[in-house]
Chain A
Amino acid sequence: EAQVTQNPRYLITVTGKKLTVTCSQNMNHEYMSWYRQDPGLGLRQIYYSMNVEVTDKGDVPEGYKVSRKEKRNFPLILESPSPNQTSLYFCASSLSRPEAFFGQGTRLTVV
């Protein structure tokens, strides 16, 4: 089954404690991206990647890092999470735009 898998689905953490949200796709897609969704603000792109070792900033990259060492994986790293990063995060992948497949989302709370 074609899918984008994010882990964890839910996470509560404390300010400053580094965390990684994993994203994996099994469709051999080249294009992957991360979004956050906040009430009243809609989906905003954090980072995207056009292929292995190729990443670029989206609209709201501050406080986040990504890596793309393999085609299937695109982890999102928060080196020092802060409460304003509490949000619903989605990973997405596609062969080309638009993002045809989204992961199920990761609900992150930073206290």
Chain B
Amino acid sequence: RKEVEQDPGPFNVPEGATVAFNCTYSNSASQSFFWYRQDCRKEPKLLMSVYSSGNEDGRFTAQLNRASQYISLLIRDSKLSDSATYLCVVNPSGGSYIPTFGRGTSLIVHP
């Protein structure tokens, strides 16, 4: 089983739609979690951290479910500019500094 799994998509949604992605992780001792956004052929950019209590940043909401070992990203009122690949990142516990990136979920927002 892969350490961090994401549905590659693509998710095709119209402007204004709400879309959600999940990401599952296998290491129950994982310590911290993040979502990154990557545009085609560009560098990944940190979108938001994921906190245990859930957190929101504008139209974006991130949730963590430790019991089921998944994190989610919800995008409300999708914009054309949200089209990108969304990467889930899980950092292990302890002294390791090797984060595990998911392969990404592709989102296409169309007019």
Contacts and interface: CB of A to CB of B under 8 A. Distances in A.
Interface of A: 31, 33, 35, 40-45, 48, 50, 56, 58-59, 90, 97-100, 102-105
A100 B46 contact: yes
Contact of B97 (A35, A50, A103, A105): A50
Given A40-B103, A45-B99, A98 B91 contact: yes
Interface of B: 32, 34, 41-46, 49, 87, 89, 91, 97-99, 101-104
A42 B102 contact: yes
A102 B45 contact: yes
B42 A48 contact: no
A43 B99 CA distance: 10
Contacts of B32: 97-98
A42 B44 CA distance: 11
B87 A43 contact: yes
B42 A99 contact: no
B43 A104 contact: yes
Nearest to A104: B43
B34 to A, nearest CB: 5
Contacts of B45: 102
A31 B91 CA distance: 15
B46 A59 contact: no
11 contacts: A43-B44, A43-B87, A48-B97, A97-B91, A97-B97, A98-B89, A99-B99, A102-B43, A102-B44, A103-B43, A104-B42
Given A42-B87, A90-B43, A104-B42, A98 B99 contact: yes
A102 B38 CA distance: 11
Given A42-B101, A45-B98, A59-B98, 14 more contacts: A35-B101, A42-B102, A44-B101, A50-B97, A58-B98, A97-B32, A97-B97, A98-B32, A98-B34, A98-B46, A98-B91, A98-B99, A102-B44, A104-B42
